[in-house]
């Protein structure tokens, strides 16, 4: 690709939040069209290291480590990790960056966060790219109480045992093996990209930096009707990129699979762009050249071809 950010410097970002800081990485010019990048569950902003260098240089890309992931602070004791809380974090970050309007590229769980943010603040988002994520994922109504209860019970049990648990220490090689075995859609090279921000040096070796509480069930849940309503409230252009033929991987619960056709139809009914490409769940990290042309064309046609918002013409203080 001729227009890429490959040669541009990457800088570290730190945004203060009430419980610590949200960390991230920045690519592109100070006055570039702002694009926020949100990674998936248990990943970190290193998941965008291979894709962003292939995207248009006219944009300023900010990829963050979501709370409890990568180098960002863990939430305070007793706090849950759930979609609405992450959406609030997005608002904190863009306020700190002084972005009034921006675009979002989001993968997996990051897509769910982006979808909620777009429905809550539709006037702020110029374009949304969903990478192997429906972004408006519903839960079977009959399972709602069971799932929310499970999330609460997991937290209570964790709090009871937390003082007794010892941090698991690995060598870097064993940590890489552990991450690879837990994420079969990753390659060995992709694992190394994630481990750059996913490990902390501790006595005797390294430990994973993410908060164990991110493993608990998300207690923010929407029915199909509510999911379609949130999608209808977005005012932005959406590019949905689905990797591979097995869409079941997008659903963490079996009962969610029945919503697949309804979700796809909802995107098409609203004239959003749906693209299927060969690959796996981490295609944006493993094989970014497959999806980069679609993302680049989308950004050029829906964002870069439009006049820049005057409110974003001043560089951020961060």
Catalytic sites, residue numbers: 108
The three state secondary structure string of the chain is CCCCCCCCCEEEEEEEECCEEEEEEEECCCCCEEEEEECCCCCCHHHHCCCHHHCCCCEEEEEECCCCCCCCCCCCCCCCCCHHHHHHHHHHHHHHHCCCCEEEEEECHHHHHHHHHHHHCHHHEEEEEEECCCCCCCCCHHHHHHHHHHHHHHHHHHHHHCCCCCCCCECHHHHHHHHHHHCCCCCHHHHHHHHHHHEEEECCEEEECCCHHHHCCCCCCCCHHHHHHHHHHCCCEEEEEEECCCHHHHCCCHHHHHHHHHHHHHHHHCCCEEEEECCCCCHHHHCHHHHHHHHHHHHHHHHHCCCCCHHHCCCCCC
Task: Decide: 22 and 64 in contact? Cβ < 8 Å.
Answer: yes
The span from the CA of 312 to the CA of 303, in Å, is 13
Compute CA distances 165 → 154, 162, 205, whole Å. 15, 5, 17
Neighbouring-strand partners of residue 234: none
In 3D space, the residue among 131, 123, 134, 48 whose CA is nearest the CA of residue 83 turns out to be 134
């Amino acid at each position: 690709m001729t227009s890429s950010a490959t040669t541009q410097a990457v800088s570290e970002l730190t945004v203060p939040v009430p419980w610590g800081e949200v960390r991230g990485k920045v690519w592109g010019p100070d006055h570039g069209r702002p694009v926020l990048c949100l990674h998936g569950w248990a990943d970190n902003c290193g998941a965008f290291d291979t894709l962003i260098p292939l995207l248009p240089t006219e944009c300023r890309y900010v990829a963050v480590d979501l709370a409890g992931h990568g180098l960002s602070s863990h939430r305070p004791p007793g706090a849950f990790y759930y979609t609405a809380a992450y959406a609030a974090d997005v608002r904190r970050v863009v306020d700190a960056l002084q972005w009034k309007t921006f675009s979002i590229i989001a993968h997996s769980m990051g897509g769910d966060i982006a979808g909620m943010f777009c429905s809550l603040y539709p006037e702020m988002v110029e374009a949304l790219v969903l990478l192997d994520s429906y972004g408006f994922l519903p839960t079977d109504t009959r399972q709602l109480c069971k799932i929310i209860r499970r999330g609460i019970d997991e937290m209570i049990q964790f709090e009871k045992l937390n003082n007794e648990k010892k941090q698991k220490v690995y060598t870097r090689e064993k940590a890489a093996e552990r991450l690879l075995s837990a994420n079969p859609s990753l390659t060995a090279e992709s694992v190394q990209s994630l481990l750059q921000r996913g490990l902390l040096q501790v006595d005797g070796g390294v430990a994973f930096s993410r908060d164990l509480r991110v493993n608990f069930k998300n207690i923010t849940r929407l029915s199909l009707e509510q999911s379609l309503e949130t999608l209808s409230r977005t005012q932005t252009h959406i590019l949905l990129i689905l990797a591979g033929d097995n869409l079941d991987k997008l659903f963490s619960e079996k009962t969610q699979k029945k919503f697949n056709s309804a979700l796809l139809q909802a995107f098409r009914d609203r004239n959003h762009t749906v693209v299927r490409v060969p690959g796996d769940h981490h295609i944006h990290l493993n094989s970014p050249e497959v999806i980069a042309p679609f993302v680049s064309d989308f950004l050029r046609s829906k964002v870069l071809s439009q006049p820049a918002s005057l409110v974003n013409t001043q560089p951020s203080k961060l």
